[in-house]
Amino acid sequence: MSPFFLQASHAVAENNYVAFTFFIGTMAMMAASVFFFFELSTTDKAWRTSVLVSGLITFIAAVHYYYMRGYNLETGDSPTFFRYVDWTLTVPLMCVEFYLITKKAGGTSGLLWKLIFASVVMLVTGYFGETIYRDSSVMWGVISGLAYFYIVYLVWFGDVAKLATASSPAVAKANKTLGWFVLVGWAIYPLGYIVGTPGGLFGMSAESLGIGGLNMDIIYNIGDAVNKIGFGLVIYALSRSESK
């Protein structure tokens, strides 16, 4: 056995729940990717790109989770940098899904770039506030939050919602479900930012709430798996519904 494998096995045996959730996240994301990729051959041509993107999202996440687990085991620290790299690649792809499901109803490249731009701003400013400019974390957090709520607006009330409603009942239903993922599922990330930055917000720091940085990793890991795999399954179900 390799030293890394022995180290990983020992860490999990010692109730290292953080490493365990990284491991479960890796396996779950990879299994989802295999499922989505294998289902491409039975997916109608009109929906193959959407299912393919779902597989890419979980595959990218699986690779990052593998490295994040190794980093955590080796250093004992939270892999913040690698997590933001993962998010910067996967979250814009999740936004691309909204464009793909509304394209038939008139979704334009302008809408696509709105979603991508907002997601990148949300993540880059969040990274600045959490790691580089922690003394001004509130300012960066506000900018990141505004970009997040702009995406929420587009999905629930803006162009995405209107196009989904005009497309078909199945697309409208899928968009609403995906909207709940964005509104509720993604909400753990700004909450994690709030409690993880100096002073928190309204006294809600990690210390005052009894939430350490590594415990936040457990929450992030579970949230990531639910959000990314769930996102893909909604797209998959939509592709089958529309095919019928």
Domain that residue 148 falls in: 3-243
Q: List, in order, residues 6 or more apart from 159 with CB less than 8 Å away.
A: 107, 111, 114
Separation CA 177–CA 231 (nearest Å): 9
Summarize pLDDT for 132-179 with one digit per residue, the tens.
888 888 888 889 999 999 999 999 999 999 999 998 899 999 999 999
Summarize pLDDT for 113-127 with one digit per residue, the tens.
999 999 999 999 999
CATH value at residue 181:
1.20.1070.10
Mean pLDDT over 193-206 rounds to 61
**pLDDT at residue 13 in the model:** 43
Mean pLDDT over 198-215 rounds to 56
Separation CA 57–CA 150 (nearest Å): 22
Asked whether the predicted pLDDT for residue 195 surpasses 80, the reply is: no
Mean pLDDT, rounded, of the chain = 86
Amino acid at 24: I
Mean pLDDT over 68-80 rounds to 88
Asked whether the predicted pLDDT for residue 236 surpasses 80, the reply is: yes
From 20-34, 82-96, 178-192, the region with the lowest mean pLDDT: 178-192
Query: Could you tell me if 128 and 120 are in contact, meaning their C-beta atoms sit under 8 angstroms apart?
Result: no
Q: How many CB atoms lie within 10 A of CB 11?
A: 18
Query: Could you tell me if 11 and 75 are in contact, meaning their C-beta atoms sit under 8 angstroms apart?
Result: no
pTM, entire model: 0.87
Tally of residues, the chain = 244
**Overall domain count for the chain:** 1
Separation CA 176–CA 42 (nearest Å): 25
Summarize pLDDT for 84-102 with one digit per residue, the tens.
999 999 999 999 999 999 9
- Helices then strands, counting H and E runs in the chain, come out as 11, 0
Q: Give Rg (Cα) of the chain.
A: 19
Separation CA 160–CA 238 (nearest Å): 16
